[in-house]
């Protein structure tokens, strides 16, 4: 029977797949392998017996125990990055059936519910591959330093108590604070392209996550001290104006961060800032 795979299935269809999952089945795990930075990639497939509630990480661990492909060739265990295994660190993000998501929270039942179904794993394409499914997300964190995504409290003396925060403002910021810097929004963004040259990171598109973090800290009573610095950076090449409004970011975000609202909010702040700068000179 034809199964709707991730790139053509909705979350509802995937949930429905869970109820159809056949117990004791074996699925085919198709993995994009790469031996190191700059090396050519290749496909390898593994047969994996599925246990109920199994996730992609468990599937990769099973392969590591006995790394033999379907063709009978012995190979190396698949390399991948992982941390928390509960969808809060973002390290294990990869392409599953062509779409970015965390492999720890990805259940085989949702993607390959029937005997012989295939699940495809690839590394993210917007970051350089270190090995196999492991990518280097350094640019993502560099973007956060570009917009000074922090609250400035370092100093040589005690600053005392901070300003009061209303519960309403806290509530507004909470959604943005859930960002775990996983990179899904960047992977899905047609405006965010891979930049192997580190020197160009400062002028290439910064991405939805950093724009949203700028909004988060611009809305913080102490963090807003750096608001103008953040907006000035976001007015530069690679800033908020590079957004093409495809709005894929908000749809693939596993945390439901209101990324498109953040982009529009920063767009408004940048509009006001540019007029202020034009007329007052600072």
| Closer by beta carbon to other proteins, 5 or else 80 | 5
Rounded distance, CA 85 to CA 282, Å?
46
What is the helix, strand, coil percentage profile of the chain, to 5?
40, 15, 45
| Closer by beta carbon to other proteins, 46 or else 262 | 262
The DSSP code for 111 is H
Asked if 98 interacts with other proteins (CB under 8 A), we say yes
H/E stretch holding 218 reads helix 208-218
Which residues, 6 or more positions from 66, have their beta carbon under 8 angstroms from its beta carbon? none
Asked if 147 interacts with other proteins (CB under 8 A), we say yes
Asked if 69 interacts with other proteins (CB under 8 A), we say no
| Closer by beta carbon to other proteins, 50 or else 147 | 147
Rounded distance, CA 31 to CA 16, Å?
25
Structure tokens at 117: 């179904």
| Closer by beta carbon to other proteins, 76 or else 236 | 236
At its nearest, how many Å lie between other proteins and the CB of residue 61?
27
Asked if 200 interacts with other proteins (CB under 8 A), we say no
Query: Which of 50, 59, 99, 129: binder of other proteins (CB under 8 A)?
Result: 99
CA end-to-end span of the chain, whole Å?
Answer: 64
Residues 148-187 that bind other proteins (CB under 8 A): 148
Which residues, 6 or more positions from 266, have their beta carbon under 8 angstroms from its beta carbon? 211, 214, 215, 218, 231, 234, 240
| Closer by beta carbon to other proteins, 35 or else 178 | 178
Query: Which of 144, 188, 211, 257: binder of other proteins (CB under 8 A)?
Result: 188
Asked if 236 interacts with other proteins (CB under 8 A), we say yes
Which listed range, 105-113, 163-171, 174-182, 248-256, lies at the site for other proteins (CB under 8 A)? Answer: 248-256
User: For 228, left (φ over 0), alpha (ψ -120 to 50), or beta?
Assistant: alpha
At its nearest, how many Å lie between other proteins and the CB of residue 26?
27
Query: Any idea how long the chain is?
Result: 282
At its nearest, how many Å lie between other proteins and the CB of residue 75?
27
Q: What are phi and psi of 264, to 5 degrees?
A: -65, -40
For residue 68, which of 49, 51, 44, 96 has the smallest C-alpha distance? 44
| Closer by beta carbon to other proteins, 25 or else 277 | 277
Rounded distance, CA 77 to CA 175, Å?
37
Asked if 260 interacts with other proteins (CB under 8 A), we say yes
Which residues, 6 or more positions from 112, have their beta carbon under 8 angstroms from its beta carbon? 3, 27, 28, 50, 118, 119
At its nearest, how many Å lie between other proteins and the CB of residue 173?
15
Query: Which of 7, 15, 20, 42: binder of other proteins (CB under 8 A)?
Result: 7
Q: Which residues bind other proteins (CB under 8 A)?
A: 7-8, 98-99, 145-148, 188, 190-191, 193, 202, 229-230, 232-233, 235-237, 239, 241-248, 251-252, 258, 260-261, 263-272, 274, 277
């Amino acid at each position: 029977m034809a199964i709707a795979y991730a790139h053509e299935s909705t979350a509802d269809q995937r949930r429905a797949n869970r109820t159809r999952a056949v117990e004791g089945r074996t699925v085919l795990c198709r993995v994009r392998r790469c031996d190191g930075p700059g090396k050519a990639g290749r496909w390898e497939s593994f047969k994996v017996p599925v246990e109920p509630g199994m996730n992609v990480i468990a599937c990769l661990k099973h392969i590591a125990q006995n790394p033999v492909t379907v063709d009978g060739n012995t190979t190396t265990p698949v390399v991948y990055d992982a941390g928390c295994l509960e969808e809060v660190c973002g390290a294990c993000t990869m392409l599953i059936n062509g779409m970015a998501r965390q492999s720890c929270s990805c259940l085989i039942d949702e993607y390959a519910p029937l005997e012989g179904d295939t699940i495809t794993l690839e590394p993210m394409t917007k970051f350089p591959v270190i090995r196999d499914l492991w990518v280097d997300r350094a640019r993502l964190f560099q973007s956060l330093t570009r917009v000074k995504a922090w609250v400035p409290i370092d100093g040589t003396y005690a600053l005392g108590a901070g300003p009061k925060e209303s519960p309403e403002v806290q509530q507004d910021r909470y959604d943005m604070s859930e960002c775990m810097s996983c990179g899904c929004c960047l992977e899905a963004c047609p405006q965010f392209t891979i930049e192997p040259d580190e020197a160009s990171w400062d002028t290439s598109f910064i991405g939805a996550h950093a724009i949203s973090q700028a909004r988060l800290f611009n809305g913080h009573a102490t963090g807003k001290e750096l608001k103008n610095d953040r907006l000035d950076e976001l007015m530069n090449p690679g800033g908020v104006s590079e957004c093409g409004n495809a709005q894929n970011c908000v749809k693939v975000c596993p945390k439901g961060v209101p990324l498109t609202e953040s982009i529009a909010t920063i767009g408004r702040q940048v509009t006001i800032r540019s007029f202020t700068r034009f007329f007052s000179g600072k």
